[in-house]
């Protein structure tokens, strides 16, 4: 098992929970149950059944964090949740003390570093929402769709639904600025759930999301678990549900925006209408997306999401040979990403997109910083895991890259960008000299997203270096059918691969018949 260098937002840990040693699982359960408790790490280790040194070694090995750092992160999560839900009269100092922080200045510095705003700013936002009659996480000035999370119902005699599942889902959604969380009756989308127990002590949790306007069910799922391991089940449900809700709401919002006439669209709706075009990887739809995003940026110049998405579009055009102005496109991507980073609204999706734009503009240090920030905001942000894998590929950290792509697949198996995971895994195998395996994954990625024919720039040399010359020539022929002016020089300058990687790509393309 490889180390996972994550900033501990537990949705990610839940995905990997089955891989953790028993002492780490038990310690996480104890810390999660009461992160404010000031017990020593020796006491925590004893409760987990191991020596302190063993527990610390396992935490560093499997979580890349010490138990003290994990406890601090959990305290920050609890403080943010309490600030977002604070009632009138609550103070930052009171909440900080309740969550285990005795040094207010240090708490404020840690909080700002993690969430990009001061604790007082979060509390002010919460009060603003309450004044509007909602109960959510931040003001709806950026026109985000609202989701309400109702307490789950108990089904069957003797069953008592824990409020923790609904609360955990709400808390995770609060961290994701792609949606707002508010009280029932004030939301466009409503989340409901039930908890059912059987005589054998098995639990079944069912969750469904409804469009309040149409009463249409737009998502539902269920999870089974053992009543004796309710903590792990609650974490698993909350982590998976939060990811699915965000994606389902986004899909519903895209559909809603596409059914409206263009002159009726708000900045958010223009961005949603642009989203599928931006993800198409084709020249014409990317151009249409940029036209929509220009309008969105004019209507909402302080919203980072349309700016970051526009940066992504320019980066794609510059790196996928979709225009003759690749350098200008990459510069536009870099400039827009910088503009979005200055706004920094705390949206992990926007942060992941602007990080992707930095990647495509060949600014890997800036990309790495913002991917890390996106995962600190939401450890279940599938796009951050997906796209950050590419930074690892470009840096030659090939095993870590594959780990990141696989985590993205595990979090959201049907995400529309998963074809990038396949192509990324292929690139990592190519970098390691496993050319047949690279061919298999390149082929899978192109099958998952046929417009990703640009990946033949790398599948063709993988064929050639694997000794499959006829398939290499056919791959180059297919590539030139879509990009007739493409040269090896174009391929070498498109993406920020290491020099040795590019040299092998060039050798393979030359052997397959592409002109220099």
pLDDT tens, position by position, for the chain (516 residues)? Answer: 344 334 444 444 444 444 567 888 888 878 877 788 878 888 888 888 899 999 988 888 777 778 888 888 888 888 887 887 777 778 888 888 888 888 878 888 888 887 777 888 877 765 544 443 443 333 333 578 889 988 888 876 555 556 678 877 887 787 666 788 887 777 889 999 998 888 887 888 999 999 998 899 999 999 998 877 777 788 788 888 888 898 899 999 999 999 988 788 888 999 999 999 998 878 889 999 999 999 999 988 888 999 999 999 999 888 876 566 888 999 999 999 999 988 866 788 899 999 999 999 999 999 999 998 888 877 778 889 999 999 999 999 999 999 999 999 988 888 888 999 999 999 999 999 999 999 999 999 999 998 888 899 999 999 999 999 999 999 999 999 988 988 999 898 888 999 999 999 999 999 999 988
Identify the pLDDT of residue 438.
97
Q: Could you give the angle at which helices 398-411 and 418-431 cross, rounded to 10 degrees?
A: 160
Both tokens assigned to 40: 């020593």
By three-state DSSP, how is residue 167 classified? helix
Tokens of 453: 């024919």
What's the pLDDT score for residue 162? 61
CATH class label, 386-516: mainly alpha
- Report the greatest alpha carbon distance in the chain: 74
Per-residue pLDDT at 3 = 40
CB of 179 closer than 8 Å to CB of 159? no
The sign of the torsion formed by the CA atoms of 388, 393, 397, 401 equals positive
Pairing state between β 202-211 and 189-197: antiparallel
pLDDT of amino acid 24: 84
148 forms bridges with which residues in the sheet? 182, 190
For residues 202 and 224, the answer to whether their CB atoms sit within 8 Å is: yes
Q: How many CB atoms lie within 10 A of CB 22?
A: 11
Q: Where do you find CATH 1.10.10.60 in the chain?
A: 10-131
**Helices then strands, each counted (H, E), the chain:** 24, 6
CATH fold of 10-131 reads Arc Repressor Mutant, subunit A (1.10.10)
Q: Is 263 exposed, middle or buried (0-12, 13-18, 19+ CB in 10 A)?
A: exposed
Measure the CA–CA gap between 308 and 312, rounded to whole angstroms.
6
pTM exceeds cut of 0.85? no
Question: Cβ(179)–Cβ(347) under 8 Å?
Answer: no
The conformation of residue 198, written as its DSSP 8-state character, comes to -
Per the DSSP assignment, residues forming a β-bridge with 205 are 195, 223
**Which homologous superfamily is 140-238 in?**
TolB, N-terminal domain (3.40.50.10070)
Options 1.25.40.10, 1.10.640.10, 3.40.50.2300, 3.30.70.3040; CATH of 260-378: 1.25.40.10
Task: State the span(s) of the chain assigned CATH 1.25.40.10.
Answer: 260-378, 386-516
Where does 378-434 have alpha helices with state H?
382-394, 398-411, 418-431
Per DSSP, the three-state class of 408 is helix
For 107, the token pair is 């708490």
Domain ranges in the chain with CATH number 3.40.50.10070: 140-238
Cα distance between residue 265 and residue 271, in whole Å: 9
pLDDT of residue 246: 87
Instruction: Please state, in angstroms and as integers, the Cα–Cα distance from residue 274 to each residue in 80, 252, 291, 395, 439, following that order.
Output: 32, 14, 8, 31, 32
The SS3 of residue 217 is: strand
H or E segment at 223?
strand 216-226
């Amino acid at each position: 098992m490889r180390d996972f260098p994550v900033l501990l937002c537990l949705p990610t840990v839940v995905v990997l929970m089955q891989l953790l040693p028993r002492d780490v699982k038990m310690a996480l359960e104890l810390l999660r149950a009461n992160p404010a408790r000031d017990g020593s790490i020796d006491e925590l280790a004893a409760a987990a059944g191991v020596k302190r040194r063993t527990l610390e070694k396992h935490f560093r090995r499997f979580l890349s964090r010490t138990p003290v750092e994990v406890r601090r992160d959990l305290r920050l999560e609890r403080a943010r949740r309490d600030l977002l839900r604070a009632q009138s009269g609550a103070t930052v100092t009171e909440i900080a003390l309740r969550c285990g922080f005795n040094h207010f200045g240090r708490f404020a510095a840690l909080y700002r570093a993690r969430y990009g705003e001061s604790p007082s700013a979060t509390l002010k936002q919460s009060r603003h929402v309450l004044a509007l009659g909602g109960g959510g996480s931040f003001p709806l000035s950026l026109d985000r769709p609202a989701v309400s999370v109702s307490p789950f119902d108990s089904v069957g005699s003797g069953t008592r639904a824990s409020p923790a599942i609904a609360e955990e889902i709400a808390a995770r959604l609060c961290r994701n600025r792609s949606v707002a969380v508010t009280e029932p009756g004030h939301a466009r989308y409503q989340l409901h759930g039930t908890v059912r127990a059987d005589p054998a002590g098995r639990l079944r949790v069912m969750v469904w999301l409804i469009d309040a306007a149409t009463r249409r069910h737009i998502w539902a799922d269920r999870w089974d678990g053992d009543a004796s391991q309710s903590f792990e089940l609650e974490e698993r449900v909350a982590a998976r549900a939060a990811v699915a809700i965000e994606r389902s709401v986004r899909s519903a919002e895209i559909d809603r925006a596409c059914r409206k006439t263009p002159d009726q669209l708000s900045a958010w709706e223009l961005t949603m209408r642009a989203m599928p075009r931006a993800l198409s990887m084709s020249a014409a739809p990317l151009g249409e997306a940029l036209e929509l995003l220009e309008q969105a940026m004019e209507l909402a110049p302080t919203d980072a999401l349309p700016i970051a998405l526009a940066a992504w579009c320019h980066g794609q055009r510059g790196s996928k040979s979709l225009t003759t102005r690749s350098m200008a496109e990459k510069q536009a991507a870099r400039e827009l990403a910088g503009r979005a980073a200055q706004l920094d609204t705390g949206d992990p999706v926007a942060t992941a997109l602007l990080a992707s734009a930095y990647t495509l503009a060949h600014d890997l240090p800036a990309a790495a910083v913002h991917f890390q920030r996106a995962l600190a905001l939401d450890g279940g942000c599938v796009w951050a895991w997906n796209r950050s894998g590419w930074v690892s590929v470009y840096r030659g950290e090939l095993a870590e890259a594959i780990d990141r792509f696989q985590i993205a697949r595990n979090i959201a198996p049907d995400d529309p960008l998963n074809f990038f995971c396949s192509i990324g895994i292929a690139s990592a195998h190519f970098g390691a000299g496993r050319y047949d395996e690279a061919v298999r994954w390149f082929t899978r990625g192109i099958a998952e997203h046929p417009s990703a024919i640009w990946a033949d720039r790398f599948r063709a040399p993988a064929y050639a270096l694997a000794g499959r010359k006829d398939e290499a020539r056919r791959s180059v022929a297919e590539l030139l059918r879509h990009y007739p002016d493409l040269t090896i020089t174009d391929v070498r300058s498109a993406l920020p691969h290491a020099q040795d990687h590019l040299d092998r790509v060039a050798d393979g393309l030359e052997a397959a018949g592409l002109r220099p």
